[in-house]
Amino acid sequence: MAAKKAQEKTYTVSNPATFEPVATYPLMSPGEVDQAVKRAKAAFPSWSQSAISQRQAILKRAAAVLAENAAEYARQIAAENGKTAMDAMLADIFSTAHLLSHYGKKLGKYLAPVKVEGTLLFPGRKTYYVFEPKGVVGVISPWNYPFTLSAGPVISAVAAGNSVVLKPSSQTTRSGLIVKEIFVKAGLPPDVAQVVTGSGSHTGDALASHPGLDMLFFTGSTEIGNKINVKAAERLIPVIMELGGKDVAIVTKNADIDRAVSGTAWGAFTNCGQTCIGTEIILVDKSIFTLFAEKLARHAGGIKTGMGCGEVGAMTMDSQFRLVIEQLEDAVAKGATVLAGGKPEEGRTGRFFPPTVLTGTTPDMRVRTEETFGPLKCLIPFDTVDEAIAIANASEYGLSASVYTRDPKEGKALAARLKTGSVNINDALVTYAVPSLPFGGVKKSGIGRYHGAIGLQAFTDIKSVTEFYWPLKREFFWYPIPKETETLFPHLMVMMFGQKAADKLKAAGSAVRVAAGSLAARL
Ligand code: NAP
């Protein structure tokens, strides 16, 4: 985490591109987390009863606040994360405004009661289910897309009528505070969405362990996600886990090579490669491999590092920076070749790492088995698409993937075979940015989904309701059970579940006769 000081009561965040201090924040204690959860609990009854139209107005106003302050917020996010302001604008701010506006429009539809078909056994009932807020949702978010990955779950939780306590990554505390700021400016009661600041092991652990939470939403590494999942399981509270990934892009012989080169490079290097759904392994059909490799080497080699528009920013965390160097050294020592990029420039201030592509990697190399989460990528040829799918599905992760082909039939067939939470055909990262598409992973990449209708309803408890107002004193199977009921059920069974039409018709006649007699007795 960022540097601590003054008996660990505060911590200071430094800019990864300049190493200059950006801001100092309180390192909140378990007691302060407890107070925040209690305030959130007290705010819940009133907010959970708020009209959908009131929530929609707040969501739309929050989108407007974000839009009006976008450039300044992008600057602040970039300063603590090390990404370029353009990366912050595109992936953090634009996508969040889009989600706010989407739920601002669709909330009534997504949370409307759902009428369902009843059954013959219970005639006259209205049958439907409703979505009710859960209570207090704890949200713990990472540093890589520090604003959108904090805002997304907070927006979903608040829109569904919950109150929230958010613990952003200590490195990117300001991004979490912006989430609260836009909501308060939009008119949300302040205790409905609160932020606790501090490190994961101290403040984050206190939040994840708090008995007052009704749900936990975690975005981060699979390792910490596992630990938090165990804590939630002990208290039997639901979780959504958005965890690590090792995404592949499959480029078939039918691909538009130029689009595949640009798409895989963008998917690989945007946000300095620190993207959970970023492309880590590029699998290319052997028949186009040489041409693809030449073009990718030229393209990736032309992407500069720096803080300007169109450049790749600095890596956020020192630990990640060192991991990328370790994986690169391990791969080269075991025989891999550097096709583009390589080691960071010596003596340069800031954690800048050039977009790097390796060929000749083998499955025993760390870069092939571990999540990299940086601008170091593997380019691998394949003989058949079956081989490409096998490499992709061998991963313990299953977050997202890309397929590049001009043949729609091939694209859909490959997408269906990939064991991932999402697939982009001739694209990269788009599934996250479409607010109506549910987002999340399979295998060790996570549990549950957010975004879209399903992702909003995930922040609610579903209550099934039946309504019945006929003037019957009792049902034909309530005590004392009438004798006719015994006669009725065999007919009813054949009528409802039998296969032959003649038998069903005959049983229906008998059932109606028995039921009519029984009904007369119950009026
Ligand atoms: P991380 O180390 O797991 O941290 C994530 C969050 O958990 C941070 O707020 C961290 O706080 C906090 N934390 C750490 N230890 C904790 C503990 N014992 N109890 C409670 N909270 C704790 O992950 P990261 O390094 O920030 O993020 C990178 C990882 O996230 C990668 O694996 C990436 O693939 C994954 N990710 C997944 C998605 C997705 O949607 N699937 C999206 C983005 C990132 P501090 O930072 O203050 O220590």
For the Cβ of 276 lying below 6 angstroms from any atom of ligand 1, the answer is yes
Given this model, what pLDDT does residue 6 score? 45
Give CA–CA dist 441/446, Å, rounded: 5
- For 58-116, how does the pLDDT look when each residue is reduced to its tens digit (9 = 90+)? 999 999 999 999 999 999 999 999 999 999 999 999 999 999 999 999 999 999 999 99
Edge to edge, what strands does the sheet with 10-14 contain? 3-5, 10-14, 21-26
Mean pLDDT value of segment 169-173 = 98
Residue 442 lies inside a defined structural domain of this protein: no
Atom of ligand 1 lying closest to residue 399 CA:
41
- Shared-domain flag, residues 260 and 281: yes
Give CA–CA dist 364/367, Å, rounded: 9
Residue 13 lies inside a defined structural domain of this protein: no
> Which residue out of 203, 243, 270, 275 has the highest number of ligand 1 atoms within 8 Å of its CB and is therefore the one to mutate?
243
Given this model, what pLDDT does residue 468 score? 97
For the Cβ of 158 lying below 6 angstroms from any atom of ligand 1, the answer is no
- Ligand 1 center–CA 463 separation, angstroms: 32
What tokens appear for 387 in the block? 């081989």
For the Cβ of 149 lying below 6 angstroms from any atom of ligand 1, the answer is yes
- Shared-domain flag, residues 301 and 428: yes
- Ligand 1 center–CA 222 separation, angstroms: 8
> From atom 30 of ligand 1, which residue's Cα is the shortest distance away?
220
Q: Give the residue numbers spanning the domain of 494.
A: 474-522
- Shared-domain flag, residues 210 and 358: no
Atom of ligand 1 lying closest to residue 220 CA:
30
Strands 114-115 vs 21-26: parallel, antiparallel or unpaired: unpaired
- Ligand 1 center–CA 244 separation, angstroms: 9
- Shared-domain flag, residues 225 and 352: no
Given this model, what pLDDT does residue 7 score? 59
Give CA–CA dist 433/98, Å, rounded: 8
> Which residue out of 99, 139, 143, 241 has the highest number of ligand 1 atoms within 8 Å of its CB and is therefore the one to mutate?
143
Given this model, what pLDDT does residue 515 score? 81
Query: Is residue 33 a contact partner of residue 206, using CB atoms and an 8 Å limit?
Result: yes
For the Cβ of 141 lying below 6 angstroms from any atom of ligand 1, the answer is yes
- Ligand 1 center–CA 63 separation, angstroms: 26
Q: What would you measure as the largest C-alpha separation in the chain, in angstroms?
A: 95
Residue 314 lies inside a defined structural domain of this protein: yes
Residue 102 lies inside a defined structural domain of this protein: yes
- Shared-domain flag, residues 496 and 397: no
Q: What is the share, in percent, of the chain residues with pLDDT greater than 90?
A: 93
For the Cβ of 56 lying below 6 angstroms from any atom of ligand 1, the answer is no
For the Cβ of 243 lying below 6 angstroms from any atom of ligand 1, the answer is yes
What tokens appear for 495 in the block? 């009528």
Residue 80 lies inside a defined structural domain of this protein: yes
Give, rounded to a whole angstrom, the gap between the first and last alpha carbons of the chain: 72
Give CA–CA dist 367/375, Å, rounded: 11
Given this model, what pLDDT does residue 521 score? 67
Residue 7 lies inside a defined structural domain of this protein: no
- Shared-domain flag, residues 217 and 260: no
Residue 3 has pLDDT above 80, yes or no: no
- Shared-domain flag, residues 239 and 257: no
- Shared-domain flag, residues 408 and 351: yes
- Shared-domain flag, residues 97 and 181: yes
> Which residue out of 201, 445, 450 has the highest number of ligand 1 atoms within 8 Å of its CB and is therefore the one to mutate?
201
The domain that holds 91 is classified in CATH as 3.40.605.10
For the Cβ of 144 lying below 6 angstroms from any atom of ligand 1, the answer is yes
- Ligand 1 center–CA 142 separation, angstroms: 4
- For 106-144, how does the pLDDT look when each residue is reduced to its tens digit (9 = 90+)? 999 999 999 999 998 899 999 999 999 999 999 999 999
The domain that holds 423 is classified in CATH as 3.40.309.10
Which band of pLDDT confidence, cut at 50, 70 and 90, is reported for residue 1?
A: low
Task: Return phi, psi of residue 459, to 5°.
Answer: -95, 20
> Annotated catalytic sites, by residue?
242, 276
- Shared-domain flag, residues 50 and 141: yes
- Ligand 1 center–CA 218 separation, angstroms: 8
> From atom 10 of ligand 1, which residue's Cα is the shortest distance away?
200
Give me the chain's average pLDDT, please. 96
Show the beta-strand stretches assigned E in 316-431.
337-340, 356-359, 376-382, 397-398, 400-404, 422-425
Residue 4 has pLDDT above 80, yes or no: no
Q: Where are the alpha helices (DSSP H) in 194-251?
A: 205-208, 222-235
- Shared-domain flag, residues 325 and 422: yes
Mean pLDDT value of segment 413-419 = 98
Task: Return phi, psi of residue 136, to 5°.
Answer: -100, 125
What 3-state DSSP class applies to 24? strand
> From atom 14 of ligand 1, which residue's Cα is the shortest distance away?
200
- For 203-260, how does the pLDDT look when each residue is reduced to its tens digit (9 = 90+)? 999 999 999 999 999 999 999 999 999 999 999 999 999 999 999 999 999 999 999 9
- Ligand 1 center–CA 317 separation, angstroms: 12
Task: Tell me the whole-structure pTM to 2 decimals.
Answer: 0.95
For the Cβ of 371 lying below 6 angstroms from any atom of ligand 1, the answer is yes
Give CA–CA dist 180/189, Å, rounded: 10
Residue 4 lies inside a defined structural domain of this protein: no
Domain count, the chain: 3
Given this model, what pLDDT does residue 516 score? 83
Residue 296 lies inside a defined structural domain of this protein: yes
> Which residue out of 33, 276, 420 has the highest number of ligand 1 atoms within 8 Å of its CB and is therefore the one to mutate?
276
- Shared-domain flag, residues 380 and 330: yes
